[in-house]
Amino acid sequence: MKKNLLLPLTVVFSMLLVCSCVKDVDFDQAQNITLTPVVELDLIYFNLDAGDFFDTISNTQRLTVRDTTEIRFLDDTGVQESLKRAEFLFNFTNTINREFQVEFQFINEMNQETYYTSTTVSAGNVGNPVATQFIENVEGPEILELTMADRVVVSVTVETIDETVAGELNLQSKTTYYLEIKDRS
């Protein structure tokens, strides 16, 4: 009996092996695979003293202080293709009795400005820090401008100051990068 069953089974099995196939699958869907990670990353931070805005040697005001750092990954081809939105969060804490204008100039390798944003930081008091939060959301066509840049120039400007002014201006910042990574070939 078993012999009678096994022989046809063997034939069927062999046929199965020969005829085995892959059904009901669509490998073209691979084109639609999209990774959408949202990455939180610290950006820059600084701690400016009121004295940084006044040159005691020459007894003159330095109404604008400026510094630059590269953000080399920003104009990376992969980031240019994948970054859909970037949300910058700047947290200022000010104990200087002055209002500040803070500018962020994103520039490319040719020193051309590709993206610009700025904010006003409220005045505070020594012993009474005042927080200013600034959120800059970049998406759509602006994201292309942002990702043309590979560095940011930060300028902090005060209208007037003298050597008697004390306190600190502190910045903490981060960026939330919304990426969309997929096969673009």
Q: Which residues contact 84 (CB under 8 A, 6 or more apart)?
A: 139, 143, 178, 179, 180
> At its nearest, how many Å lie between other proteins and the CB of residue 42?
3
Cα separation, 121 vs 92, whole angstroms: 7
1 in contact with other proteins (CB under 8 A): no
Give 85 or 141: the residue with its C-beta nearer to other proteins: 85
x/- track of binding to other proteins for residues 104-143 (CB under 8 A): ----------------------------------------
x/- track of binding to other proteins for residues 60-89 (CB under 8 A): --x--xxxxxxxx----------------x
Cα separation, 103 vs 152, whole angstroms: 10
Is-contact 106 114, C-beta < 8 A?
A: yes
Give me the residue label for tokens 């999209």.
Answer: 34
> At its nearest, how many Å lie between other proteins and the CB of residue 87?
10
> At its nearest, how many Å lie between other proteins and the CB of residue 178?
8
Cα separation, 115 vs 131, whole angstroms: 25
Q: Which two tokens stand for residue 152?
A: 């940011």
Radius of gyration of the chain (CA): 29
Is-contact 140 146, C-beta < 8 A?
A: no
Site for other proteins in 84-103 (CB under 8 A): 89, 91
Helix (H) or strand (E) holding 53: none
Give 27 or 59: the residue with its C-beta nearer to other proteins: 27
List interacting residues with other proteins (CB under 8 A). Answer: 2-3, 6-7, 9-10, 13-14, 16-17, 19-27, 29-46, 48, 52, 55, 62, 65-72, 89, 91, 154, 156, 172-174, 176-177, 179, 182-183, 185
